[in-house]
Amino acid sequence: MIADGYDAFLFDLDGVLYRGAEPVEGAARTLASLRSLGKGLAFITNNSSRTPEAIAEHLTGLGIEARPDEVETSALATAELLSGRGVASVYVVGDDGLRSALAATGLTLTDGTRAAEAVVVGWDRGFDYAKLAAACVLIQRGSSLVASNADASYPVEDGLTLPGAGAILAAIQTATGVNAEVVGKPNEPIFRAALARAGGGRPLVIGDRLDTDIEGARRLGWDSVLVLTGISAAADISTASAAPTYVAERLDLLVDHE
Protein backbone atom coordinates (compact mmCIF):
# COMPACT_ATOMS: atom_id res chain seq x y z
CA MET A 1 0.00 0.00 0.00
CA ILE A 2 1.05 3.61 -0.55
CA ALA A 3 1.43 4.29 3.19
CA ASP A 4 4.26 1.77 3.54
CA GLY A 5 6.75 4.05 1.81
CA TYR A 6 6.36 7.10 4.06
CA ASP A 7 6.81 8.19 7.67
CA ALA A 8 4.91 11.48 7.80
CA PHE A 9 1.59 12.36 6.17
CA LEU A 10 0.80 16.03 5.69
CA PHE A 11 -2.92 16.52 5.07
CA ASP A 12 -4.58 19.57 3.61
CA LEU A 13 -8.05 20.15 5.11
CA ASP A 14 -10.67 21.76 2.87
CA GLY A 15 -11.48 19.41 0.02
CA VAL A 16 -9.38 16.60 1.47
CA LEU A 17 -10.80 15.75 4.91
CA TYR A 18 -14.00 17.77 4.64
CA ARG A 19 -16.03 20.06 2.42
CA GLY A 20 -17.60 22.79 4.50
CA ALA A 21 -19.39 21.04 7.37
CA GLU A 22 -19.39 17.60 5.73
CA PRO A 23 -16.56 15.06 6.19
CA VAL A 24 -15.09 13.41 3.11
CA GLU A 25 -16.06 9.76 3.00
CA GLY A 26 -13.35 7.52 4.44
CA ALA A 27 -11.27 10.34 5.95
CA ALA A 28 -11.69 9.30 9.58
CA ARG A 29 -10.97 5.63 8.83
CA THR A 30 -7.89 6.47 6.78
CA LEU A 31 -6.31 8.65 9.46
CA ALA A 32 -7.15 6.12 12.17
CA SER A 33 -5.44 3.43 10.09
CA LEU A 34 -2.33 5.58 9.64
CA ARG A 35 -2.14 6.22 13.38
CA SER A 36 -2.45 2.50 14.07
CA LEU A 37 0.53 1.95 11.76
CA GLY A 38 2.59 4.40 13.81
CA LYS A 39 2.73 7.04 11.09
CA GLY A 40 3.24 10.72 11.89
CA LEU A 41 0.41 13.07 10.95
CA ALA A 42 0.09 16.79 10.50
CA PHE A 43 -2.65 19.03 9.20
CA ILE A 44 -1.44 21.82 6.93
CA THR A 45 -3.79 24.53 5.79
CA ASN A 46 -3.73 27.87 4.03
CA ASN A 47 -6.86 28.77 5.97
CA SER A 48 -5.70 31.57 8.26
CA SER A 49 -9.06 32.33 9.83
CA ARG A 50 -9.15 29.66 12.55
CA THR A 51 -6.81 28.77 15.39
CA PRO A 52 -5.21 25.31 15.67
CA GLU A 53 -7.52 24.65 18.61
CA ALA A 54 -10.61 25.45 16.54
CA ILE A 55 -9.38 23.31 13.64
CA ALA A 56 -8.66 20.35 15.90
CA GLU A 57 -12.10 20.72 17.50
CA HIS A 58 -13.74 20.81 14.07
CA LEU A 59 -11.92 17.67 12.95
CA THR A 60 -12.75 15.87 16.18
CA GLY A 61 -16.40 16.80 15.70
CA LEU A 62 -16.27 15.08 12.30
CA GLY A 63 -14.90 11.92 13.90
CA ILE A 64 -11.28 12.60 12.88
CA GLU A 65 -8.76 12.44 15.73
CA ALA A 66 -6.63 15.59 15.81
CA ARG A 67 -4.61 17.64 18.29
CA PRO A 68 -3.85 21.38 18.09
CA ASP A 69 -0.10 20.68 18.07
CA GLU A 70 -0.56 18.69 14.85
CA VAL A 71 -1.97 21.74 13.01
CA GLU A 72 0.19 24.11 10.94
CA THR A 73 -1.65 27.09 9.47
CA SER A 74 -0.61 29.90 7.16
CA ALA A 75 -1.35 32.24 10.07
CA LEU A 76 1.29 30.57 12.23
CA ALA A 77 3.80 30.60 9.38
CA THR A 78 3.11 34.28 8.70
CA ALA A 79 3.49 35.22 12.36
CA GLU A 80 6.79 33.36 12.59
CA LEU A 81 8.10 35.05 9.44
CA LEU A 82 7.23 38.59 10.56
CA SER A 83 8.41 38.19 14.13
CA GLY A 84 11.66 36.72 12.85
CA ARG A 85 12.21 39.88 10.83
CA GLY A 86 11.63 42.11 13.83
CA VAL A 87 8.38 43.61 12.52
CA ALA A 88 6.63 45.36 15.40
CA SER A 89 3.25 46.57 14.07
CA VAL A 90 0.74 45.26 11.54
CA TYR A 91 -2.69 46.10 10.17
CA VAL A 92 -4.61 42.87 9.73
CA VAL A 93 -7.27 42.06 7.17
CA GLY A 94 -8.19 38.67 8.57
CA ASP A 95 -10.16 36.67 11.11
CA ASP A 96 -9.34 35.38 14.61
CA GLY A 97 -6.82 32.72 13.60
CA LEU A 98 -4.55 35.22 11.88
CA ARG A 99 -4.99 37.94 14.48
CA SER A 100 -4.30 35.64 17.43
CA ALA A 101 -1.23 34.08 15.79
CA LEU A 102 0.27 37.52 15.12
CA ALA A 103 -0.56 38.85 18.59
CA ALA A 104 0.93 35.75 20.23
CA THR A 105 4.35 36.61 18.80
CA GLY A 106 4.23 40.08 20.35
CA LEU A 107 3.22 42.04 17.26
CA THR A 108 1.06 45.13 17.79
CA LEU A 109 -2.18 45.03 15.80
CA THR A 110 -3.21 48.51 14.69
CA ASP A 111 -6.71 49.72 13.83
CA GLY A 112 -5.85 51.05 10.37
CA THR A 113 -5.75 54.69 11.38
CA ARG A 114 -2.16 54.55 12.62
CA ALA A 115 1.05 53.65 10.79
CA ALA A 116 1.93 49.96 10.51
CA GLU A 117 5.06 48.30 9.21
CA ALA A 118 3.03 45.72 7.29
CA VAL A 119 -0.47 45.07 6.04
CA VAL A 120 -1.21 41.37 6.56
CA VAL A 121 -4.02 39.81 4.53
CA GLY A 122 -5.86 36.54 5.08
CA TRP A 123 -9.42 35.32 4.71
CA ASP A 124 -11.79 37.79 6.35
CA ARG A 125 -15.53 37.17 6.44
CA GLY A 126 -16.06 40.81 7.46
CA PHE A 127 -14.04 42.30 4.60
CA ASP A 128 -15.57 45.52 3.32
CA TYR A 129 -14.71 48.77 1.57
CA ALA A 130 -13.49 50.39 4.79
CA LYS A 131 -10.88 47.66 5.31
CA LEU A 132 -9.89 47.80 1.65
CA ALA A 133 -9.41 51.57 1.86
CA ALA A 134 -7.42 51.39 5.10
CA ALA A 135 -5.10 48.73 3.69
CA CYS A 136 -4.55 50.70 0.49
CA VAL A 137 -3.75 53.95 2.31
CA LEU A 138 -1.22 52.23 4.58
CA ILE A 139 0.49 50.55 1.64
CA GLN A 140 0.73 53.87 -0.20
CA ARG A 141 2.35 55.31 2.92
CA GLY A 142 5.02 52.62 2.95
CA SER A 143 3.63 49.52 4.68
CA SER A 144 4.72 46.25 3.12
CA LEU A 145 2.03 43.85 1.89
CA VAL A 146 2.13 40.28 3.19
CA ALA A 147 -0.49 37.57 2.59
CA SER A 148 -1.01 34.41 4.59
CA ASN A 149 -2.10 32.72 1.35
CA ALA A 150 -3.40 33.49 -2.11
CA ASP A 151 -6.07 30.81 -2.56
CA ALA A 152 -8.75 32.40 -4.71
CA SER A 153 -11.45 30.03 -3.46
CA TYR A 154 -12.22 27.15 -1.13
CA PRO A 155 -14.59 24.18 -1.52
CA VAL A 156 -17.88 23.82 0.31
CA GLU A 157 -20.79 21.40 0.09
CA ASP A 158 -22.49 20.36 -3.16
CA GLY A 159 -19.38 20.88 -5.26
CA LEU A 160 -19.49 24.66 -4.88
CA THR A 161 -16.68 27.08 -4.00
CA LEU A 162 -16.63 30.39 -2.16
CA PRO A 163 -14.16 33.33 -2.38
CA GLY A 164 -10.94 32.81 -0.42
CA ALA A 165 -8.15 35.04 0.87
CA GLY A 166 -6.76 35.36 -2.66
CA ALA A 167 -9.92 37.12 -3.80
CA ILE A 168 -9.50 39.70 -1.02
CA LEU A 169 -5.81 40.02 -1.78
CA ALA A 170 -6.56 40.59 -5.46
CA ALA A 171 -8.68 43.63 -4.61
CA ILE A 172 -5.87 45.18 -2.56
CA GLN A 173 -3.22 44.40 -5.16
CA THR A 174 -5.39 45.80 -7.94
CA ALA A 175 -6.06 49.01 -6.05
CA THR A 176 -2.43 49.61 -5.05
CA GLY A 177 -0.47 48.03 -7.89
CA VAL A 178 1.65 46.28 -5.23
CA ASN A 179 2.22 42.52 -5.25
CA ALA A 180 2.15 40.76 -1.90
CA GLU A 181 4.71 38.44 -0.39
CA VAL A 182 2.76 35.20 0.07
CA VAL A 183 3.74 32.99 3.02
CA GLY A 184 1.52 29.90 2.82
CA LYS A 185 1.42 27.04 0.34
CA PRO A 186 3.06 26.46 -2.12
CA ASN A 187 5.97 28.15 -0.32
CA GLU A 188 8.50 26.12 1.62
CA PRO A 189 8.26 27.30 5.27
CA ILE A 190 4.76 26.03 5.99
CA PHE A 191 5.60 22.56 4.63
CA ARG A 192 8.78 22.24 6.69
CA ALA A 193 6.95 23.37 9.81
CA ALA A 194 4.24 20.76 9.20
CA LEU A 195 6.82 18.01 8.71
CA ALA A 196 8.39 18.92 12.05
CA ARG A 197 4.95 18.64 13.69
CA ALA A 198 4.57 15.15 12.17
CA GLY A 199 7.88 14.03 13.63
CA GLY A 200 10.06 14.18 10.52
CA GLY A 201 11.05 11.33 8.24
CA ARG A 202 9.99 10.79 4.63
CA PRO A 203 6.89 12.93 3.95
CA LEU A 204 3.87 12.50 1.71
CA VAL A 205 1.74 15.58 0.97
CA ILE A 206 -1.99 14.95 0.46
CA GLY A 207 -4.00 17.75 -1.10
CA ASP A 208 -6.74 18.74 -3.53
CA ARG A 209 -5.03 21.69 -5.26
CA LEU A 210 -2.36 21.36 -7.92
CA ASP A 211 -1.25 24.98 -7.54
CA THR A 212 -0.64 24.89 -3.78
CA ASP A 213 -0.42 21.37 -2.32
CA ILE A 214 1.14 19.55 -5.25
CA GLU A 215 3.29 22.49 -6.40
CA GLY A 216 4.62 22.93 -2.86
CA ALA A 217 5.61 19.27 -2.67
CA ARG A 218 7.32 19.54 -6.06
CA ARG A 219 9.43 22.49 -4.95
CA LEU A 220 10.74 20.45 -2.04
CA GLY A 221 11.21 17.24 -4.01
CA TRP A 222 8.57 15.46 -1.90
CA ASP A 223 5.98 12.94 -3.11
CA SER A 224 2.33 13.92 -3.20
CA VAL A 225 -1.22 12.65 -3.63
CA LEU A 226 -3.90 14.61 -5.47
CA VAL A 227 -7.30 13.62 -4.12
CA LEU A 228 -10.22 14.38 -6.42
CA THR A 229 -12.62 15.52 -3.70
CA GLY A 230 -11.83 19.23 -3.84
CA ILE A 231 -10.69 21.90 -6.29
CA SER A 232 -8.44 20.25 -8.92
CA ALA A 233 -9.62 17.55 -11.32
CA ALA A 234 -7.62 14.82 -13.04
CA ALA A 235 -8.02 16.67 -16.33
CA ASP A 236 -6.13 19.65 -14.87
CA ILE A 237 -2.90 17.70 -14.40
CA SER A 238 -1.79 17.88 -18.03
CA THR A 239 -1.63 21.69 -17.93
CA ALA A 240 -0.31 22.10 -14.38
CA SER A 241 3.26 23.04 -13.49
CA ALA A 242 3.43 20.16 -11.02
CA ALA A 243 2.18 16.60 -11.39
CA PRO A 244 1.31 14.51 -8.32
CA THR A 245 3.04 11.23 -7.56
CA TYR A 246 -0.37 9.60 -7.08
CA VAL A 247 -3.96 10.46 -7.98
CA ALA A 248 -6.73 9.10 -5.77
CA GLU A 249 -10.49 9.35 -6.02
CA ARG A 250 -10.73 8.07 -2.45
CA LEU A 251 -8.55 8.96 0.51
CA ASP A 252 -8.56 5.38 1.77
CA LEU A 253 -6.41 4.33 -1.19
CA LEU A 254 -3.49 5.40 1.01
CA VAL A 255 -4.05 2.35 3.20
CA ASP A 256 -5.62 0.03 0.62
CA HIS A 257 -3.65 -3.21 0.31
CA GLU A 258 -4.84 -3.88 -3.22
* DSSP H or E segment with residue 59: helix 52-61
Q: Which H, E and C letters describe 137-165, residue by residue?
A: HHHHCCCEEEECCCCCEEECHHHCEEECH
Annotated catalytic residue 69? no
Q: Which of 7, 12, 208, 223 is catalytic?
A: 12
Strands 223-227 and 89-93: unpaired
Residue 126 CB neighbour total at 10 angstroms: 9
Question: CA-to-CA distance for 206 and 251, rounded, in angstroms?
Answer: 9
Q: Is 55 helix (H, G, I), strand (E, B) or coil?
A: helix
The residue among 69, 67, 55, 54 whose CA lies nearest residue 16 is: 55
Picking from 151, 177, 112, 111, the residue whose alpha carbon sits closest to that of residue 14 is: 151
* Residue 111: active-site member: no
Residues 72/190, Cβ–Cβ less than 8 Å:
yes
Of the residues 4, 14, 69, 236, only one is catalytic, namely 14
Give the type of residue at 105: T
Q: Contact 168/127 with Cβ under 8 angstroms?
A: yes
d(CA 2, CA 200): 18
Q: One-letter amino acid identity for 189? A: P
Host H or E run for residue 168: helix 165-176
* Cα–Cα nearest to 50, from 27, 69, 76: 76
Positions marked catalytic: 12, 14
